Amino acid sequence: MAVNGSGQGRETCFLTYGRLTDITADFKRGHLFAYLEEKKNKAERHAIRNLLGVLAYRQQNDHQGALDYFNHILSPGEDPDNLNAMANRHFVMSASRGGIPTAAPDEPDLSTEEGKSAQARRYAEQAFALIDEKNNDAIDYGRSTRALELCNQAMKLAGHLVDLDERNDWKYLAGEASYEMLKKTMKTSETHDQAYQALDDAVRSFWTIAEHPSTDVNMKSSAWVRIGVIFHLASKWNVQIGDVSESLAECIDDPERCVRKARDIAPDSPQVLNYLALFRSQAGDVEEALMLYGESILLPSTKENFFAYSSRAELCLEQYKRAVSANAAIRRYLAQAKDDLEHILPKHESQLDYARLADVYLQMAKITVDSVTRRDFLIKALHNCFMSENCQRGNEQDQLHNVRGRCLCLLGQHRRARESFRRGIECERKSGWWGECRKLLADCEDQHRQGDEDDG
């Protein structure tokens, strides 16, 4: 989590991949402020303020603002021995003095309980910085693995020295890291052994939290949601589930039961409502899912429920594309998807949401008779493809290349369309999930074997 530095525990863990766009930085800042309010009396508040300080320094070049966050952490009554805050402050102060380094903070004495606790908190905060990435498309397997290693190091070093709340924070972080590792390995047979281990680790972490009577309500409900999602993914991708307790085994064949347990615990949680909506949509109950997304969006406990807007848009787009005809009743799905995506993208950039909005404009072009308007919709679709590709890891999404290729076909640019479909096939191959790009390429080649005189 430190802004910079070397030595044990001081690797750069946050915002190390270049400057964020202002939209993404503003989103992260807003998310962290909301999370800080939720965790204002918990140990995690120090990790959050460290991230806010790093964000102020790297994104805004606000040295004093960054120092204010780090000094707050180190103030009396907070955490005067916080190693990440000391390392961050040391770096910013050195940079502020024209690069003349100040004295680096001492390393903790690991022969003492105080030193072990300080070092363990350093590890846990760095894990938090790695895994608390709300644009989950940017979390790769390596980052998730490192986060899990840091959590395990923290637990081994001082899990017995910290209170229950802090220990549960570390366990939940470990569960999140394992969950991300599962998502990256479950789709291919070559990595099923890794997926099995990640699933087992994640369930054990979340179950420890879910069954403990003293666990924080929000964390307990979130743990139940995660278990439900994991069991659903295991069924979808044929990942084996190891031994679990009898009370949990009954949820393996009915993962939605986990989410309903979460709703009993936290009925006004936007996250729980969103995932219940997701399960309802997968069960085919589209109208109930839309109602739940709407309830989640209207809750006062969240400023902008980006997940709900994005998921509702995805569901509406799917419903539109499944329809036999684009009558007025069906077109309302397309209009809702467009409204939701255009509402959130100016505030929360996402490669998938840009690709979905591109698909929305493609669908609008296909039902438009006027040739000028039709072309305008296709140009807007291609613009959103460009925006998707320029997000972090954006060009790894097959949906982007799928939509771009179809737009180019409709514009008569068949050679470029085939190139896009080929890139989509490569993305599908890497993800282990074969979509439409192979068929789209074959159809394009069959229909345009005589060349592409109109590509110029």
What are φ and ψ of residue 267, in 5° steps?
-65, -20
Residue 135: the pLDDT is: 46
d(CA 115, CA 120): 9
Question: Quick one: 32 and 149 in the same domain?
Answer: no
Between 164-185 and 141-158, two packed helices, what is the crossing angle to 10 degrees? 150
* Residue 317 burial (10 A CB sphere; 0-12, 13-18, 19+): buried
Question: Quick one: 27 and 94 in the same domain?
Answer: yes
**Residue 166 is assigned to a structural domain of this protein:** yes
Question: Quick one: 93 and 155 in the same domain?
Answer: no
Categorize the per-residue pLDDT at 188 as very low, low, confident or very high, splitting at 50, 70 and 90: confident
**Residue 282 is assigned to a structural domain of this protein:** no
Of the three residues 77, 107, 137, the one that is the final residue of a domain is: 107
User: At a CB cut-off of 8 Å and minimum separation 6, what does 113 contact?
Assistant: 158, 161
Q: Cβ–Cβ contacts within 10 Å for residue 433, how many?
A: 12
Q: Average of pLDDT values for 233-253?
A: 93
Question: Quick one: 71 and 147 in the same domain?
Answer: no
On whether the pTM is more than 0.75, the answer is yes
d(CA 111, CA 157): 11
Structure tokens, 171: 């366990």
- Per-residue pLDDT tens for 412-450? 999 999 999 999 999 988 877 778 899 899 988 887 765
Give the range among 101-105, 156-160, 209-213, 381-385 with minimum mean pLDDT: 101-105
Q: Which of 343, 344, 352, 426 is nearest to 391 (CA)?
A: 352
- Per-residue pLDDT tens for 364-411? 999 999 999 999 999 999 999 999 999 877 888 899 999 999 999 999
Of the three residues 232, 253, 274, the one that is the final residue of a domain is: 253
- Per-residue pLDDT tens for 31-88? 899 889 888 998 999 999 999 999 999 888 899 999 999 999 999 999 999 999 999 9
Q: Is the pLDDT of residue 304 over 90?
A: no
Rounded to whole angstroms, what are the CA distances from 452 to 97, 409, 412? Answer: 61, 11, 8
* Residue 126 burial (10 A CB sphere; 0-12, 13-18, 19+): buried
Question: Quick one: 175 and 224 in the same domain?
Answer: yes
Q: Return the DSSP state at 213.
A: T
Through-space distance between the first and last CA atoms of the chain, rounded to whole angstroms: 50
Question: Quick one: 131 and 103 in the same domain?
Answer: no
Q: Is the pLDDT of residue 4 over 70?
A: no
Question: Quick one: 139 and 186 in the same domain?
Answer: yes
d(CA 328, CA 65): 52
Q: Can you give the CATH number for the domain in which 406 is found?
A: 1.25.40.10
Contact between 54 and 14 (Cβ < 8 Å): yes
Domain total of the chain? 3
Question: Quick one: 58 and 133 in the same domain?
Answer: no
Rounded to whole angstroms, what are the CA distances from 311 to 73, 252, 257, 352, 384? Answer: 36, 24, 20, 11, 18
Question: Quick one: 150 and 98 in the same domain?
Answer: no
Contact between 177 and 145 (Cβ < 8 Å): yes
Residues of the chain above pLDDT 90, percent:
68
Question: Quick one: 134 and 98 in the same domain?
Answer: no
| Mean pLDDT rounded to a whole number for the chain | 89
Between 270-282 and 256-265, two packed helices, what is the crossing angle to 10 degrees? 150
Question: Quick one: 31 and 146 in the same domain?
Answer: no
DSSP H/E element including 65: helix 63-73
Contact between 348 and 23 (Cβ < 8 Å): yes
Q: Which domain holds residue 225?
A: 127-253
Residue 318: the pLDDT is: 96
Question: Quick one: 131 and 247 in the same domain?
Answer: yes
User: At a CB cut-off of 8 Å and minimum separation 6, what does 120 contact?
Assistant: 153, 154, 155, 157, 158, 159, 161, 162
